[in-house]
Amino acid sequence: MSGAIDLLAPRKIAMVASNPATSPTTGLPVGFWWAELAHPYWEFVEGGFEVGVYSPEGGRLEADAWSDPRDDSRYSADDLLSLGFLSSPEHLRLVEQSRPIAELDVADHDAVLFVGGQGPMVTFYADERVHRLAAAFFDAGKVTCVICHAACLLLKARRADGSLIVAGKTWTGFANSEEDYVDQYVGRPVQPFRIEDEAHKLSDTNFIVNSRFKSHCVRDGNLITGQQQYSGREAAKLVIDTLGR
């Protein structure tokens, strides 16, 4: 009987988003990007997966303002999936009461997805807890997915044998052409460093990008990466396909 229960239990995917932070370059509040959380979440639950939202510290999360469809900038005004998530008290509670990654049991999950946004450049890049979590999923043969600026963690995250997760891998992340656009739009440099520049300094890895702000995802074994916010749904679909469901 217990075996039957296990077979019927929903498969689980963890989504890890940034805690609120302050940009070291602009001094503005930064966090996760709504489309990179809400869009993959939709794909996962529609596919029958149980999804939990985590963050390094746990607690209430805040999104980058431009990613909020209600923001006065109207930068993401057409993002109806994120607007629906924001309009649902049940779903909004997931980001208002995120669980700390210390409570995330790798063995109990089939995959992990690290959500991008400006926050990860502050909260993921140098946090060894985040690096260890990504490596634990990867070393366990679990699907490990990283989107947009969350890819900064792959510049540092190392496996149990000391090698980088991206050693011998092809992967992507936020492109220099996209950073150029954002810097021009804002009128000053926004990020403390560029993922593409740092990735090209690494040996034995293949970082690639596609057209600016077009969906672009790469799967190399159990590592799945998405270039930016427009890649969230495609990345989630690749996760589901890789899991065979």
Write out pLDDT tens, residues 200-223: 999 999 999 999 999 999 999 999
Q: Please count the structural domains in the chain.
A: 1
Closest CA to 145 of 21, 36, 11: 36
240 contacts 41 by C-beta, under 8 angstroms: no
Yes or no: say if 236 and 113 are a contact pair by the CB < 8 Å rule: yes
Q: How confident is the model at residue 1 (pLDDT cuts 50, 70, 90)?
A: very low
Query: Hey, is 170 helix, strand or coil?
Result: strand
Average pLDDT, the chain: 95
- Angle made by CA atoms 165, 170, 176, in degrees to the nearest 5: 100
pLDDT in tens, 78-96: 999 999 999 999 999 999 9
What pTM did the predictor assign? 0.95
- β-pairing, 111-114 vs 217-220, is unpaired
102: left (phi > 0), else alpha (psi -120 to 50), else beta?
alpha
Give the residue carrying structure tokens 């929903």. Answer: 10
Q: Residue 185 belongs to a domain with what CATH number?
A: 3.40.50.880
Q: How far is residue 154's CA from residue 162's CA, in Å, rounded to a whole number?
A: 13
Q: Residue 91, Cβ neighbours under 10 Å: how many?
A: 18
Domain with 8 in it: 2-243
- The conformation of residue 174, written as its DSSP 8-state character, comes to S
Q: Using CA atoms, how far apart are residues 214 and 147, in angstroms rounded to an integer?
A: 13
**The pLDDT value given to residue 167:** 98
- Residue 186's φ and ψ, nearest 5 degrees, are -85, -30
- Three-class secondary structure assignment of 10-40: CCEEEEECCCCEECCCCCCEECECHHHHHHH
Q: What gap in Å lies between CA 128 and CA 171, rounded to an integer?
A: 21
Q: CB within 8 A of 213, min separation 6: which ones?
A: 178, 181, 228, 230
Rounded to whole angstroms, the Cα distance separating 115 from 37 reads 6
Does residue 193 have a pLDDT over 80? Answer: yes
**Between the CA of residue 145 and those of 142, 215, 232, what are the distances in Å?**
10, 15, 10
| pLDDT band at residue 10 using 50, 70 and 90 as cut-offs | confident
Position 4 scores a pLDDT of: 46
Asked whether 112 and 139 are in contact (CB, 8 A), the reply is no
Strands 29-30, 50-55: pairing is: unpaired
List phi, psi (to 5°) of 170: -100, 130
